[in-house]
Amino acid sequence: MKSSEEFHSRRSPVYSTNGVVAASQPLAVAAGLEILSKGGNAADAAVAVAAALNVTEPGSTGLGGDCFALYYDGTCGDISALNGSGRAPARLTLELLRSAGFAEQLPPFHPYTVTVPGACAGWCDLVERHGSLSMVDILTPAIRLAEEGFPVAPITSYFWQRGVNEQLKTAPGGHHLTINGRAPCPGEIFRNPDLAHTLRIIAEGGMNAFYQGEIAAVIANAVQAAGGCMAVEDLAAHHSTWEEPINTTYHGIRIWECPPNGQGLTALLALNILEGFALPELEPLSAERLHLEIEAMRLAFADTRWYVSDPAFNHIPMDELLSKGYAAERRKLIDPARATLDQQRGSPVVSSDTVYLSVVDGQGNACSFINSNYMGFGTGIVPDGCGFSLQNRGHNFSLDPTHPNALAPGKRPYHTIIPALATRLPDGNTTRKRKEELYASFGVMGSFMQPQGHVQVVIALNDDELDPQAALDRPRFCITNGEAGGSVALEVGIPVGVMAALAEMGHPVMQVDQHWRHIFGRGQIITRRPENGVLCAGSDPRADGCAMTY
């Protein structure tokens, strides 16, 4: 690998052969390591970390939200994709919304944006298929944290207070996630006995105790009392799905993403386009290279903001979208000297605020896992006695009845949260005639930043040969709203002259620093060397977390 000194990495990457956990909270990392040290594998540890993150970072994730996972089996090289996202209530229709005065878009924190929380089923299903320990063992560290309390990390405290101001102050039950109406200060102990009680019920009774018992009744009552229409029947009908992951090749490696309704397709489309440019010959933070990356993302978003939807309701031309020929046609639309802000979706066929965590164990199994409320605390609604807030994923539905992502009862919305994996053959041959070795388990959380983060991380790791920590430290760009014509946020650290050059090319740019850097996402990366099993990990400096081994 090239030296990371050029990019002034703030800390060294973590090396190990036993197993590594990387997450946005050190106490959650410790929970995962505890499970690995007790003989658990990557799936067991991932769920333990997710549960602990629900305790330590409730403004990003939890049982009131959804999850997605990619799992790499170190024995055979198989990759499975878990879709743990929930569906719209049966009574929630476009007609109902129109009669309530919502014709174009729902308010972000309205109870109609609450879709069925899929995280609990996702946790249980991942452990049932790939895990080796009981849910009692796996959830014990999180239960202990919730009961005994934990000191709140500084960045978490800052965004917790934002959540108090934006949602929790006014949302029903929101005060349960505050200390006398405010967020906990950095270093202040926060206890959540209600969440400990909920986790204990799940540990002993599994997902049925969540979706068909007292928890489901309390969730439905909370949503209905707030003015929504979720019923206990909606929760009882929920189920996760195991999907065939989608992938594309990029300069000798294969990138894996979960299929729609997640937006992982966006990253694959952009990488296909960028593969046709000689990026390694351009300076990493030059205007020339950043322009190409931004333009590829604009084209990718133009496609996915139309095509990404629930495949149970709409046909998505996946093979055609991911073909190299389609990428070549889209690549022709990029002007190397000028920004194009009005890119439209293509026709690939003739007829036609979140937590990410990564775990790799000593046996070479990997779990790339993401769990989210959306928009911080989601709606901010906290069901009585549960200790978690309910998500607002339904805000991503289109209210245009002609759109593939149009709201419908029982439908999953466009989802921003996406985990990723990368594999490669020892000789770099991607024909898949034999087992592909794990190259990296990675992700970058943060709404529409996520596919942009995936692309920038892949380029840093593969084209520039940076170690995981240096790849995460590198300053980023972000098309702020995930739209093809959106403005571009540029992180401090990108040279001012480069920012000026991008503006000259026609990009509407803005410089971002301090706490606003959260819009560039918060990532975790673990790579594995096939020749000796050595793991190398990094954790994003934009969060409170770390990567650690045992």
Domain, as residue range, for 396: 1-263+308-317+352-476+521-550
Q: Note whether 241 and 412 are within 8 A (CB).
A: no
Q: Length of the chain, please?
A: 550
Q: Is residue 87 part of a domain?
A: yes
Q: Is residue 251 part of a domain?
A: yes
Q: Note whether 283 and 305 are within 8 A (CB).
A: no
Active site residues: 354
Which contacts (CB < 8 Å, 24+ apart) does range 101-106 have?
102/399, 103/399, 104/399, 105/395, 105/399, 106/394, 106/395, 106/397, 106/399
Q: Is residue 153 part of a domain?
A: yes
Q: Note whether 49 and 360 are within 8 A (CB).
A: no
Distance CA 42, CA 20 (A): 9
C-beta neighbour count of 125 within 10 angstroms: 22
Q: Is residue 493 part of a domain?
A: no
pTM of the model: 0.94
Q: Note whether 544 and 153 are within 8 A (CB).
A: yes
| pLDDT tens per residue across span 7-53 | 455 789 999 999 999 999 999 999 999 999 999 999 999 999 999 99
C-beta neighbour count of 233 within 10 angstroms: 12
Q: Which residues contact 278 (CB under 8 A, 6 or more apart)?
A: none
Q: Is residue 548 part of a domain?
A: yes
| pLDDT value at residue 482 | 81
Residue type (1 letter), 514: Q
| pLDDT tens per residue across span 152-176 | 999 999 999 999 999 999 999 999 9
DSSP letters, 302-335, are HHHHHH-S-TTTS---HHHHT-HHHHHHHHTT-B
Q: Is residue 498 part of a domain?
A: no
| pLDDT value at residue 344 | 84
Q: How far is C-alpha 283 from the geometric centre of its chain's CA atoms? A: 28
Output the domain CATH number for residue 226: 3.60.20.40
Distance CA 57, CA 59 (A): 5
Q: Is residue 509 part of a domain?
A: no
Cross-strand pairs, 70? 81, 368
**Count: domains in the chain:** 1
Q: Report residue 233 as tokens.
A: 């029947």
Measured torsion, CA atoms of residues 286, 287, 289, 292, in degrees rounded to the nearest 10:
170
Residues of the chain predicted below pLDDT 50:
1-7, 349-352
Q: Which residues contact 337 (CB under 8 A, 6 or more apart)?
A: 505
Q: Is residue 64 part of a domain?
A: yes
| pLDDT value at residue 447 | 82
Q: Report residue 152 as tokens.
A: 């709140």
Complete edge-to-edge strand list for the sheet that includes strand 509-512? 477-479, 488-491, 509-512
Tokens 């009669």 sit at which residue? 99
Q: Report residue 12 as tokens.
A: 């060294």
